[in-house]
Amino acid sequence: MTARRPSVAITLGVLLLDAVPLAAQPLPPALRPTLETANQQHQTAQQQWAARQWRMQMDAPLARFIDDAAQRQTLLTRIYQEARLAGLPPDLVLALIQVESAFKANAISSAGAVGLMQIMPFWISELGLPIDDLTHPPRNLRYGCTILAHYLAIESGDFTRALARYNGSLGETWYPERVMQAWRDTWRQPPQR
């Protein structure tokens, strides 16, 4: 049974609703356990187990890019949540981040794309608020997953074309091939039996 992908309008709405001034500020450490508990209450035991298993499987490959174990787990948790919210495979998001920024949250490309998922600043006026900081990983992941889900919907689930649109290279395959190779070689896990 395949998971139902949320509509782009719903995903974009979630992006806009989440874009409040407090979202631009880091979460105080004392509130983190409360937030994690609240997030887990909306998940079944099976969903919580699947998320934990995925984080454990992805931790070792991510250690090549991020030394700190706590930072890896925090990032993996957020990637999993944002990818699932957007109806994307979380390991594909990892592959895209590897190709785009090598997991550097402050990365800025020569074209001006920012952060983990290399978001062009014009997306702020399309999807968010002027206060949005694209170097802030949770905000960057929300934008990137929303944009990729939008392109995937436009391309009727064709990952090659959606990834090319994401990169701004529609009609070429070099970028999708790089992401798909990273996905296949590093991040994609065999199906659970």
Q: What is residue 126's predicted lDDT score, i.e. its pLDDT?
A: 85
Q: Which of 33-42, 105-114, 174-183 has the lowest mean pLDDT?
A: 33-42
Average pLDDT over residues 10-32: 45
Distance (Å, whole) CA 153 – CA 8: 7
- Taking each helix axis from N to C terminus, what angle separates 90-101 and 69-86, rounded to the nearest 10 degrees? 120
Classify residue 77 as exposed, middle or buried by CB count within 10 Å of its CB (0-12, 13-18, 19+): middle
pLDDT tens by residue, 151-182: 999 999 999 999 999 999 999 999 999 999 99
pTM for the model stands at 0.77
11's enclosing H/E stretch is helix 8-18
Average pLDDT over residues 124-133: 86
Reply yes or no on whether the pLDDT at 22 is more than 60.
no
Question: Residue 15's pLDDT band (boundaries 50, 70, 90)?
Answer: very low
